[in-house]
Amino acid sequence: MAHEFSGRCLCGAVEYACASEPMFQANCHCDDCRRSGGGVYASFVFVSENMLTVNSGELHSFSHETDRGNTATKYFCPKCGSQLFTRNSANSGRRGIRVGTITDASWFQPSANVYAGRRLPSTPIDDEIKAFDEMPD
Ligand SMILES: [Zn+2]
Ligand SMILES: [Zn+2]
């Protein structure tokens, strides 16, 4: 897998780079990910926030309460609306990066499906990897 990677939003205003490989890779089937991204599920790689550098552009954010009472913050480009990062107050030193914004994500290999209990019936799921009904701690 790639040891470092970079990505950008749709319009190109926001460019970022990550200096390490992800600590965790997952698909999330929760309602919040569905609604905020518009897809039937969301794919993330999680990294330590100090490994992530935003090289250009501006990020706006939106915070909301999760079903567990934590605060989740989505970071997006105000010009094109692409959502790039997510942060959860339960693990505030970690950033989730939306895999679709990574320039070359051919190495992406989720090790788990989280909120698998909420996936849409038509969403295929890999039975070879772990499935959590909610977000594991
Ligand atoms: Zn943009
Ligand atoms: Zn989610």
Residues contacting 56, CB < 8 A, separation 6+: 13, 14, 15
**Does residue 135 sit within a domain?**
no
Evaluate whether 129 touches 110 at the Cβ level (below 8 Å). yes
**Does residue 100 sit within a domain?**
yes
**Does residue 23 sit within a domain?**
yes
**Does residue 22 sit within a domain?**
yes
Among the residue ranges 24-33, 66-75, 126-135, the one predicted with the least confidence is 126-135
Across 14-23, average pLDDT: 96
pLDDT digits (tens, 9 = 90+) for 66-75: 988 999 999 9
Whether 1 has a pLDDT exceeding 70, the answer reads: no
**Does residue 132 sit within a domain?**
no
The identity of residue 95, as a single letter, is R
Domain that holds residue 60: 5-121
Give dist(CA 61, CA 73) in Å, integer: 6
Ligand at minimal distance from the CA of 12 is 1
Domain count, the chain: 1
Residues of the chain with pLDDT > 90: what percent? 93
β-pair partners for 98: 44
Give 116 Cα–ligand 2 centroid separation in angstroms. 10
Ligand at minimal distance from the CA of 101 is 1
Residue 137, pLDDT score: 65
CATH number of 37's domain? 2.170.150.70
Whether 76 has a pLDDT exceeding 70, the answer reads: yes
Give 125 Cα–ligand 1 centroid separation in angstroms. 30
Give 42 Cα–ligand 2 centroid separation in angstroms. 7
Residues contacting 121, CB < 8 A, separation 6+: none
**Does residue 127 sit within a domain?**
no
